[in-house]
Amino acid sequence: MSSSTTPTLQPFPEDWERALAIVAHPDDIEYGIAMAVARWTGQGKQVAYVLATSGEAGIDGVPPDEAGPLREVEQRAAGEIVGVDTVEFLGFTDGIVPYDLELRSALAAAIRRHRPEVIVTINHELTFGPADSGEAVLNMADHRHVGLAALDAARDAGNRWIFTDLLDEGLEPWDGVRFVGISATSTPTHAVDVTGHLDAGVASLDAHRAYLDGLADPLDVRAMLTGFARAGGEGLGVDLAISFQVIRV
């Protein structure tokens, strides 16, 4: 239902053609962003995914050498459901991705390859949830490092004098990134109306079946995503929406 309160979030700009989602792990995109991706690909926009790791340390009962390939397959399936057929894995080690120049360079290279106008990623703050609530949950180191590096790489990608070895690989500077949208932050500014895309979002997260089955506490995927989207919808004054903090690059 539509909220009767005054919207606090602005509509996410959609006057662009190409977006790149950059995250640490398989499934990070599916906790909300995928619903926005479903809307965007439905509009004819191109969206590609770049993942720093293959999520190989993410299933307690499955060793990394089995879990990594399994989770790549699940991530590709999750992308297909929302109209994404380009999914890249950069091969960083799951769980211990450092914030360093190697990571920034690898992300800058990905941005130069894909030439997006918009980058989306997830919260890189210390916590999920309001920091002053006493209910905040520690955010994973990989999310903190990859999210911050994605922001920095959005700018690095446009500077020919940073990571000059990328030029040797034929990757010319790309300064066309207009802004980065960060989902699940404590300080959202914009939101994407995803009314009509909830089912695609649920199916996309459900595609991570081995991961979900390996969780100690079963997750009610539909209830969780509905909750996220209702909260965003309230901010935008629509039924369902996914919120982002927009940062200009």
- Of 27-56, binders to Zn ion (CB under 5 A) are 28
Q: Do 64 and 57 form a contact (C-beta atoms < 8 A)?
A: yes
Q: Nearest approach, Cβ of 142 to Zn ion (angstroms)? A: 6
Q: Which residue of 9, 19, 21, 25 would you call a contact of Zn ion, by CB under 5 A?
A: 25
Name the DSSP class of 101: H
Q: Nearest approach, Cβ of 37 to Zn ion (angstroms)? A: 16
Q: Nearest approach, Cβ of 25 to Zn ion (angstroms)? A: 3
Q: Nearest approach, Cβ of 133 to Zn ion (angstroms)? A: 22
Q: Would you state the structure tokens that stand for residue 213, as one six-digit string?
A: 């089955």
Q: Do 9 and 187 form a contact (C-beta atoms < 8 A)?
A: no
Dihedral sign, CA of 92, 76, 49, 240? negative
Q: Which residue sits closest to Zn ion, CB atoms considered?
A: 25
**125 is a contact residue toward Zn ion (CB under 5 A):** no
Q: Nearest approach, Cβ of 153 to Zn ion (angstroms)? A: 18
Count interface residues toward Zn ion (CB under 5 A). 2
Q: How far apart are CA 2 and CA 19, in angstroms?
A: 28
- Of 71-100, binders to Zn ion (CB under 5 A) are none
Nearer to Zn ion, 94 or 193 (CB): 94
For residue 50, give the nearest of 81, 72, 83, 82 by alpha carbon.
72
List of residues 6+ apart from 167 with CB closer than 8 A: 160
Q: How far apart are CA 85 and CA 79, in angstroms?
A: 6
Nearer to Zn ion, 19 or 97 (CB): 97
Which residue ranges make up the site for Zn ion (CB under 5 A)? 25, 28
